[in-house]
Structure 1
């Protein structure tokens, strides 16, 4: 593969098209722990715009970004800590960073072909190794547009104390809509702070702010594993082995793939028979979901590849969206972080000696139990001991699942078609960090971005129980 060097051509600040009416937003109980996490880095690989010269495409992107920021004024602001220690977003229209870059020696087929994700993708983002606390003096958002030999990569970097995945992709997709020519926003964010996450609790910091909670220096391999709808149905059938495969296929039509099996379902393909809907809705909490089945298979395979002692405790940590878990529910497009982390633990010996159903059921029961009362208890626990989120693999036996195949990553069109691929930067990556993306072909397919120590990745690639489902 050619050299992955990327040339930076220009940097500038893009401001909202008009001044914000929103003055400030207080960081919540769900936002504050993310101040020690690095900025989120996600982006899309696109074919080359067929009707635009790249130099004329850049002004269009800047204009659409400016229009988008009018609807997301918090992203053009800065963090500020008041005398009482409360951290807030000042919506002061200070602007976001825009970077134009070039790597015309890189071509789409070349960078998508390798098994491991090439390092060039890390250079398609700015604000590397930047902790979210730095939003006190750095922009909260940055966009880098990199011209390739036959394509373009649009990478977006946003402060993790300001957004979670739901808010990130709402902003990104709105940016694409305005670039394509939309005259108004289709999904407006909700900036209310009158929620259970709004708290008088204060998170204290050492002088100079927090430090990263993982080393970031260890050798790592990163690979995208693709799972087709058919493969995931087979995994789901294994995890729910008291079902017929026919029922597994029927329920898949009602299930939106994601991190939680008790999310709202949508009836598709015209299947609106009242009896079927009632039966499946009544049974949905008893059924292990597709994503829980896939996660359990990954947990088992990575644990096996790590060659842990039988008595070693393993942890599978999964971030869940709390918007729909509260009573009353938060607005689906609530802006900010509305996530909590669910750890599931088991000894390596028991995890590997039991079948897939056992480990999938462990994950399932933890997720289903995470309802309104659990969310509120989590808030109270944090208020009694305000703390940063401990991101990392501290004992060599942890897996952290982030992102979600429910996020509308491919539902953006800058004017000439859907993305060819979704990729991330180097932010928040360590041995055992997994990110779930929807597959580009849709229809319930899933991509897992897996980051592991080299020896563990080699063991995973040799694990036939896992690899039989990879396409």
Structure 2
């Protein structure tokens, strides 16, 4: 029997040189973008809302094709501006905030077939038209803090009688005015058929400020608002102006905040404040998706509260400036009757 067993062993095949132990699919790592110190105060602001009004060559009949093109190019744009497709996350160890994941942006289709572009884009916008415009922009009343579980970008495409309204809501802790219009012009370029944006974004915020800040967050936006006795009526501005060229003062202010970070409330601004946003340097009227320049660019309700001023370049491109001013009714009425002020207006 021993001899027979030895024969069987001699005939057995040698063990394989390579043995497969497991198989799995590997996907690219979800890009992660840590929020910088500059971003953190905006976590308790509200989503930044912009509305662009376009006239379509063939009116509402062009709307389905416009939506298809804009949706496809939005997907392409998010491949370059990937933070807008993620969500805000808080690190369990050091408490820092970052943007992570590929959850996507939200796209909403709507119709307002009885409303024309001229009714909304005209120089004399009626009170009723103003109310309609606020319905054309998503995420009204949504705080940036909610980016922990909401999309960081929402787009509403609304069919008008003779055009399309493009309402966008951006999480303001994720991008500022410069990056907002960089994204919009890049999206429009891709919609017109470009293979890539003419100017690629840089998402490494550590190049500006690499300190990771532990920012305690409230359980919800409502919980944060209930701690503010004055409510979200006043804009948040700095108590003391800092010379933008005084790098030492700016660094000290940043270090103070990083050592003892806090969540800001609108009441921190104090009474009778005026805040100025946007810039006439932003080329907002160059956002052409393939059917011409916008007829008008406006801000949404999240950006409108007592004392808020937005500056846009004039649509004519002649160096003029469009001013969007929000005041309580009584001071606005007094201003509208102030002859000295009215004489300062451009004809």
Partners of 1:167 and 1:20 lie apart in 2 by 25
The Cα shift of 1:198 comes to 2.5
Instruction: Give, in whole Å, the separation in 2 of the partners of 1:464 and 1:80.
Output: 52
Corresponding residue number in structure 1 for 2:55: 47
The answer on whether the counterparts of 1:197 and 1:379 sit within 8 Å (CA) in structure 2 is: no
Say which of 451, 456, 459 aligns to 2:331. Answer: 456
What is the CA-CA distance between 1:463 and the residue it aligns to? Answer: 2.0
Whether 2:273 is the aligned partner of 1:403: answer no
The match for 1:87 among 72, 78, 97 is 97
Q: Any idea what SS the aligned residue of 2:224 has?
A: coil
Q: Does 1:415 align with 2:275?
A: no
Contact persistence 1:176–1:414 (CA under 8 A): yes
Which of 74, 84, 101 in structure 2 is aligned with 1:75? 84
Distance 1:79 1:35 in 2: 10
What does 1:352-363 correspond to in 2, within 5 Å?
Answer: none
Q: SS at 1:449's partner residue?
A: strand
How many angstroms apart in 1 are the aligned matches of 2:88 and 2:69?
Answer: 28
Superposition RMSD on alpha carbons, in Å? 2.5
The structure with the larger Rg is 2
Counterpart CA distance in 2 for 1:22 and 1:127 is 26
Normalising by structure 2, what TM-score? 0.82
**SS of alignment partner, residue 145 of structure 1:** strand
Distance 1:343 1:410 in 2: 33
Structure 2: how far apart are the matches of 1:393 and 1:455? 24
Q: Does 1:437 align with 2:312?
A: yes
Deviation digits for residues 391-425 of structure 1 (CA, Å, limit 9, x no counterpart): 36864311111111111111111112111110111
TM-aligned CA deviation for residue 384 of structure 1: 2.6
**1:211 and 2:219 matched:** no
Counterparts of 2:72 and 2:240, CA distance in 1: 43
Could you tell me how far 1:132 is from its partner in structure 2?
Answer: 0.7
Q: Which of 114, 139, 150 matches 1:105?
A: 114
Distance 1:373 1:467 in 2: 41
Q: Distance in 2 between matches of 1:185 and 1:21?
A: 23
Q: How many residues align?
A: 311
32 and 150 in structure 1: CA distance in 2 versus 1, 3 angstrom threshold: same
How far apart are residue 119 of structure 1 and its match? 1.1
Gap change, CA 1:76 and 1:416, over 3 Å in 2 = same
- Structure 2 unaligned segments of length 5 or more: list them: 1-26
- Report if the CA contact (8 A) 2:236-2:266 is conserved: no
Partners of 2:49 and 2:342 in 1: CA distance: 28
1:445, distance to aligned residue in structure 2 (A): 1.1
**Secondary structure of 2:79's match?**
helix
CA distance in 2, matches of 1:93, 1:195: 23
Stretch moving more, 185-194 or 167-176: 185-194
Quick one: distance in 2 between partners of 1:177 and 1:20?
A: 26
Contact 2:146-2:220 at 8 Å conserved across structures = no
Structure 1, unaligned runs of 5 or more:
1-18, 219-314, 318-340, 345-365
User: What is the correspondence of 1:51-200 to structure 2 with a 5 Å cutoff?
Assistant: 53-84=62-93, 85-90=95-100, 92-111=101-120, 112=122, 113-114=124-125, 118-200=130-212
CA separation in 2, counterparts of 1:373 and 1:394? 24
* Distance (whole Å) between structure 2 residues aligned to residue 101 and residue 132 of structure 1: 24
